[in-house]
């Protein structure tokens, strides 16, 4: 057994909503680092240092208690001055932090020396009000000419106010000292407390960091020393699906994923009823199109409210006009939205930015998916206009040249070159390793469009619009035929990565073809060949399927999209394997993912990790800069378990059914899932390798043990969940 593999720097990170604090284990925020306190894409606190008696405390231990709270336990170094001589380890210093809209700090000191002590506790803070994009571009800071910063201290209010203004953009931070056992003073750029303690006496102060991200609205914090109350403000973890199994790796990975998904619940203050999944901590605590849609589908069995919130927010922000600088066209679903200075001033087109191709098809797919799990017809009626606008975009703008295939090319001077899920600048290499030329028709985009057409046909049927349903099915089948003629790579037994700007095949073996299996656009006679090509040694690392073949000139096991392993990518491919009956191959992917989670710190799958090959007694190697936790990595755990248990929701002939068709591998002989959410209630079941026992069912759905029946045609078969 190996020790836990750390991902990223050994920071202590806590967050709630889109507010996050990234600090050193001793509580510091190092000047010049990418740490600090961020709220709605602005870094308010860029440097923070505590001293006692003029020296930095000595760290004993620190950790997160919950995702929104942390505790740092320290003591003093040896302190010698004309007024004081104190041996190391005489003071117990605890710094407890919680995040809500602001940060609440509790400082507690106890004197364990045998004599009275007197010393200064000082807090030095700096506020750069840097945009999130500037912080991530360390060494390439933007010139903020014309911006102004100021700060002022109020002795009566025990408060420091720091302000930042750049044209119409303004932010403010209030640092407030409360319940202090001694009066704070402002001295030489520091908040200073004179601390005087008898033996065994304690001392306390609260320090509140209150940001202003909307004019006149001061952020709030949790109350003093109220971690118990903080727990009560969170959604009950019991509301999620619970899993019980004797396989410790699966159990721990599942439990961690539940906690991580709780930490990534995002609520816009202007839309408090809509809960969506944030993409990841610390850089992606905002609404994304693709990430939120994929996460919502993967987490459907436990958190359908995420899917409802995602549909609500994305439909509200769906494009209604043309704006080339934002890669925006009518009907298109956004890529991401930001609230910082760079976005508000229009330096980058992120309010919102629409440079993603796949999110628009995925929106339609999610809507149909939610209907199958909820049987909520009103939901279809509510979002049908958005789904139809999305499909109109797929047909008109998604197919740029009218050849029947989906392709992308940025129209923005500041837009993304690549606009599939692999959106790094070098993510789509040609056979020589060079960047493939625009416009790009990636293979998985055709699968998503095919699936979306079939899903919209399903919606039309539910709404008694049979002619429209038939039209969409015919369009889907034409795409099926043309795709399999143009994209099939016979010599490799897989699909071309895509077609380049000259409509030439991109002869690159990549994981994208696995998404085609998931969408159902692959003929059954080709599915096994595609799966086996993905599991060949150049693609299978031992932990998971790589994004790019290790034999390719552009392969780099440490590159973001050209050789690493992504959990959500693997869960998507595993779903495709299961669709075509390749249950053993599904279990191979799942085992690799659970082994990796077991090796990483906290049993947590990161956003991605290295594609280095697995050897005996080996461990997965981190990708520097991976977001942890990350929503579609965490929810990939749910998806893997769901497909091994063979859980399908289907709406057929006016009736809702849940099919339970487990094919558990020998390393996972039994498991129990409780509180699967469907319809108007909950379902609990115990799964064995080829059998299932229903323990509880209040969903209103009929539960059937066995596989769902085959559809009447290949196009219809692709509708199976």
Provide the pLDDT for residue 145: 82
User: The domain that contains 97 carries what CATH number?
Assistant: 2.70.98.40
The pLDDT, as a whole number, for residue 215 is 87
Q: Are residues 516 and 661 in the same domain?
A: no
Specify whether 214 is located in the same domain as 101. Answer: yes
Residues 155, 39 share a domain: yes
Are 413 and 509 in the same domain? yes
Residue 433 is predicted with a pLDDT of 97
Q: Which residue, 486, 513, 534, sits at the end of a domain?
A: 534
Which pair of structure tokens corresponds to residue 81?
Answer: 């001055």
> Whole-prediction pTM value?
0.94
Among the candidates 199, 233, 267, a domain finishes at: 233
pLDDT tens track for 217-241: 888 888 775 544 444 444 443 457 9
Rg over alpha carbons for the chain, rounded to the nearest Å, is: 27
Is residue 224 located within the same domain as residue 326? no
Whether residue 461 lies inside any domain: the answer is yes
Classify residue 247: in a domain, yes or no: no
**CA distances, 81 to each of 53, 67, 78, 445, 691 (Å):** 9, 40, 10, 69, 74
State the Cα–Cα distance between residues 193 and 278, nearest whole angstrom: 39
Task: State whether 415 and 508 are in the same domain.
Answer: yes
Residue 102 lies in a domain: yes
Tell me: do 379 and 518 sit in the same domain: yes
- Residue 111 shares a structural domain with residue 217: yes
Q: 216 with 332, same domain?
A: no
**Strand stretches in 199-305, DSSP E:** 202-214, 217-218, 242-244, 265-267, 275-277
Give tens-digit pLDDT for 623-674. 988 999 999 999 999 999 999 999 999 988 889 999 999 999 999 999 999 9
Please check whether residue 372 lies inside any domain of the structure: yes
Query: Same structural domain for residues 323 and 226?
Result: no
pLDDT for the residue 144: 83
Facing residues of 467 across strands? Answer: none
Judged on CB neighbours under 10 Å (0-12, 13-18, 19+), 85 is: exposed
Residue 679 domain boundaries: 650-717
Q: What's the pLDDT score for residue 94?
A: 97
Within-domain flag for 384: yes
Nearest partner of 12 among 2, 1, 22, judged by Cα: 22
Q: In the chain, how many domains are there?
A: 3
Domain membership of residue 256 (yes or no) is: no
Residue listed under structure tokens 């990170």: 13
Q: Which of these three, 534, 554, 589, is where a domain ends?
A: 534
- Indicate if 329 and 475 belong to the same structural domain: yes
Q: Hey, how many other C-beta atoms are within 10 angstroms of the C-beta on 32?
A: 9
Question: Is 327 found in the same domain as 213?
Answer: no
Q: pLDDT of 447-505, one tens digit each?
A: 999 999 999 999 999 999 999 999 999 999 999 999 999 999 999 999 999 999 999 99
The answer as to whether 253 is a domain residue is no
The CA distance from 358 to 519, in Å, is 12
Measured distance CA(23)–CA(535) in Å, rounded: 40
Q: Is residue 91 assigned to a domain?
A: yes
Q: Residue 225 has what pLDDT?
A: 55
CATH code assigned at 525:
1.50.10.10
Chain center to CA of 531 = 27
In which residue ranges of the chain is pLDDT below 50? 227-238, 712-713, 716, 718-721
């Amino acid at each position: 057994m190996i020790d836990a593999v750390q991902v990223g720097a050994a920071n202590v990170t806590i967050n709630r909503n889109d507010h996050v604090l990234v600090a050193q284990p001793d509580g510091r925020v190092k000047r010049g680092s990418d740490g600090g306190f961020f709220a709605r894409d602005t870094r308010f606190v860029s440097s923070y240092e505590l001293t006692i008696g003029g020296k930095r405390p000595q760290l004993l231990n620190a950790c997160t208690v919950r995702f929104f709270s942390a505790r740092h336990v320290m003591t003093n170094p040896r302190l010698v001055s004309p007024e004081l001589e104190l041996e190391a380890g005489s003071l117990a210093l605890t710094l407890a932090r919680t995040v809500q809209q602001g940060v609440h700090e509790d400082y507690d000191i106890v004197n364990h020396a045998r004599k009275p002590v007197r010393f200064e506790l000082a807090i030095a803070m700096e506020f750069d009000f840097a945009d999130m994009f500037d912080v991530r571009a360390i060494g390439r800071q933007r010139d903020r000419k014309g911006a102004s910063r100021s700060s002022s201290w109020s002795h009566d209010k025990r408060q420091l106010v720091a302000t930042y203004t750049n044209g119409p953009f303004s932010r403010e931070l209030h640092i407030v000292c409360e319940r202090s056992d001694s009066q704070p003073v402002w001295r030489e750029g520091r908040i200073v407390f004179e601390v005087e303690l008898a033996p065994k006496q304690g001392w306390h102060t609260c320090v509140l960091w209150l940001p202003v991200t909307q004019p006149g609205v001061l952020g709030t914090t949790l109350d003093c020393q109220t971690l118990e109350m903080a727990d009560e403000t969170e959604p009950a973890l019991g509301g999620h699906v619970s899993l019980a199994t004797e396989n410790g790796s699966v159990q721990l990975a599942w439990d961690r994923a539940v906690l991580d998904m709780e930490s990534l619940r995002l609520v816009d203050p202007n839309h408090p009823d809509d809960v969506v999944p944030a993409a990841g901590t610390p850089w992606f605590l905002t609404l994304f199109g693709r990430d939120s849609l994929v996460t919502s589908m993967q987490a459907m069995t436990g958190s359908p409210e995420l899917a409802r919130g995602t549909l609500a927010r994305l439909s509200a922000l769906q494009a209604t006009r043309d704006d080339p600088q934002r890669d925006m066209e009518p009907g298109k679903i956004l890529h991401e939205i930001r609230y910082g200075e760079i976005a508000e001033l229009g330096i980058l087109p992120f309010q919102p930015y629409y440079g993603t191709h796949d999110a628009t098809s995925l929106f339609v797919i999610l809507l149909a998916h939610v209907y199958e799990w909820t049987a909520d017809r009103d939901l279809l009626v509510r979002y049908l206009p958005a789904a139809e606008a999305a499909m109109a975009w797929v047909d008109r703008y998604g197919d740029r040249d009218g050849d029947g295939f989906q392709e992308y090319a940025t129209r923005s001077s500041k837009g993304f070159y690549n606009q599939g899920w692999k959106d790094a600048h070098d993510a789509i290499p040609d056979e020589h390793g060079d960047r493939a030329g625009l416009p790009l028709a990636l293979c998985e985009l055709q699968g998503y469009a095919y699936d979306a057409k079939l899903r919209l046909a399903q919606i039309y049927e539910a709404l008694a619009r049979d002619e429209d349903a038939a039209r969409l099915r015919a369009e889907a089948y034409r795409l099926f035929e043309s795709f399999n003629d143009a994209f099939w790579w016979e010599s490799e037994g897989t699909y071309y990565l895509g077609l380049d700007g000259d409509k030439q095949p991109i002869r690159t073996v990549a994981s994208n073809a696995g998404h085609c299996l998931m969408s159902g656009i692959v003929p059954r006679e080709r599915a096994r060949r595609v799966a086996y090509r993905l599991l060949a040694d150049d693609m299978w690392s031992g932990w998971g399927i790589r994004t790019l073949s290790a034999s390719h000139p552009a392969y780099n096991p440490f590159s973001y999209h050209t050789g690493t392993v992504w959990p959500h990518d693997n869960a998507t491919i595993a779903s495709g394997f299961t669709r075509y009956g390749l249950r053993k191959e599904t279990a191979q992917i799942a085992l690799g993912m659970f082994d990796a989670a077991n090796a990483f710190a906290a049993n947590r799958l990161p956003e991605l990790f290295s594609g280095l090959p697995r050897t005996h007694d080996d461990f997965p190697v981190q990708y520097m800069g991976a977001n942890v936790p990350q929503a579609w990595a965490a929810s990939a755990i749910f998806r893997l378990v769901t497909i091994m248990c063979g859980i399908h929701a289907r709406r057929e002939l006016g009736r809702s059914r849940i099919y339970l068709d487990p094919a558990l591998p020998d390393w996972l002989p039994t498991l129990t899932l409780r509180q699967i959410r469907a319809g108007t209630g909950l379902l609990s079941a115990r799964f064995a390798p080829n059998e299932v026992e229903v323990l509880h069912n209040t969903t209103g759905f009929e539960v059937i043990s066995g596989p769902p029946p085959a559809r009447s045609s290949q196009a219809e078969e692709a509708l199976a969940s």
